[in-house]
Amino acid sequence: MKNSLLCIFSVLLSFSISAQKPKATGPTPKRGNQAKVFLSLAEAYTQPSQVSILNLRQQNLSFLTDSIELFKNLNMLNIMKNQLTTLPASMQQLQQLRILIADQNLLQNLSPELGELKNLKELQLKKNKLTQLPSSFSNLKALETLELSNNQFVEFPEATSEMLNLKSLNMSYNLLRNLPEGIGNLTLIKNLDLGNNQIQVLPDAICKLQNLEVLLLENNQLSELPGAFGNMKRLKVLILTNNQLSGLPPGFEKLILLETLVLTDNQLYEIPEALFMMKKLELLVLKGNNFNEESKARLKKALPETDIRF
């Protein structure tokens, strides 16, 4: 049996891709041909056409000038841990840009022109002050990873529903109250983190996410799950800690690949019957609920290979 705790740890790490070591995209460079990492604008401006990776992390920058557009071959830009309040519209000229890391700044809004970065695959914007995304961001069709955690979103950004190649989305630690039906458009998504918001109801459309493997919904206000929740048959990790669930929907046992299920601190007074049939569960956490000893013993007997924690 796999190590379930290691599984959860690996999953959570996937939502916080390291900015410490800039990554080059494309084919793996041959030994001796590793792309140079430029560590200052002064150095980069001396040979702008050679700049593929630019790491300006934690350099006390309060603005970027329009001259950033000179780096026509820029593939990866790391500007995290600065004091940027905006990003220049001229960045739309960086058509080779694949990775943009702008975590931990003071960004309150983004230029609509950034929606022209048609080849962008990874966009990290966590720990800013964003409340919305420009509608033009719906043009980011190549985007696969979007990190928006620890911002100030009250509404789910509509443009996100049109990023059809998205595979990982993190909107944890915001102020979301609901989700649009458009979330069902993200049919390629595998990792979805909506934890630590104020979500009361999940739309039925979320059940269309047939490729979803990891769904994190801890610390919300959910009182029930959609009736077709069991349709997400590739789901492996489901975290529902600290909600208001009193039961699970019919057909929940159809989640035959589910390995990790955490239902800590809900309002379950009876163990849902679906759980007795989920033989492939590796880790099941039911702490903070109210079950009698007889039910606990019955569940342990039904799932002898599962690590069950009451």
Structure-block tokens of residue 209: 């996410």
Residue 226: pLDDT over 60: yes
pLDDT in tens, 38-65: 999 999 999 999 999 999 999 999 999 9
Asked whether the predicted pLDDT for residue 7 surpasses 90, the reply is no
Q: Judge contact between 100 and 75, C-beta under 8 A.
A: no
User: What is the average pLDDT across 182-208?
Assistant: 97
Q: CA of 201: how far to CAs of 89, 218, 221, 248, in Å?
A: 37, 13, 8, 14
Lowest mean pLDDT among 9-13, 101-105, 110-114: 9-13
Burial class (CB in 10 A: 0-12, 13-18, 19+), 237: buried
**Nearest-angstrom CA–CA distance, 275 and 293:** 16
Least confident piece of the model among 2-11, 91-100, 114-123, 294-303:
2-11
Domain ranges of the chain: 36-175, 176-310
Measured in degrees and rounded to the nearest 5, phi and psi for residue 17 equal: -60, 130
24 pLDDT exceeds 90?
Answer: no
d(CA 210, CA 235): 8
Task: Kindly indicate the confidence band of residue 19, based on its pLDDT and cuts at 50, 70 and 90.
Answer: very low
Q: What is d(CA 244, CA 284) in angstroms, rounded to the nearest whole number?
A: 18
Superfamily name and number for 36-175: Ribonuclease Inhibitor (3.80.10.10)
pLDDT of residue 30: 41
Q: Where is 295: in which H helix or E strand? A: helix 293-302
Write down the mean pLDDT value for the chain: 91
The Cβ-side half-sphere exposure at 211, using a 13 Å CA radius, reads 13
C-alpha distances in angstroms, 231 versus 179, 209, 235, 289? Answer: 18, 8, 9, 26
Write down the pLDDT at residue 34. 79
The CATH number corresponding to 176-310 among 3.40.50.460, 3.40.50.11720, 3.40.50.300, 3.80.10.10 equals 3.80.10.10
Q: Residues 29, 121, 86, CA angle at the centre, nearest 5°?
A: 115
Q: Is the pTM of this model over 0.85?
A: yes
Please determine whether the domains at 36-175 and 176-310 fall in the same fold group of CATH: yes
Please report the pLDDT score of residue 21 as a whole number.
Answer: 40
Mean pLDDT of 138-161: 97
pLDDT band at 301 (very low <50, low <70, confident <90, very high): very high
pLDDT at 33: 60
pLDDT computed for residue 35 by the predictor = 87
What is the spatial distance between Cα 217 and Cα 244, in angstroms, rounded to a whole number? 12
- Please tell me the distance from the alpha carbon of residue 210 to that of residue 274, in angstroms, as a whole number: 20
β-strand partners of 215: 192, 238
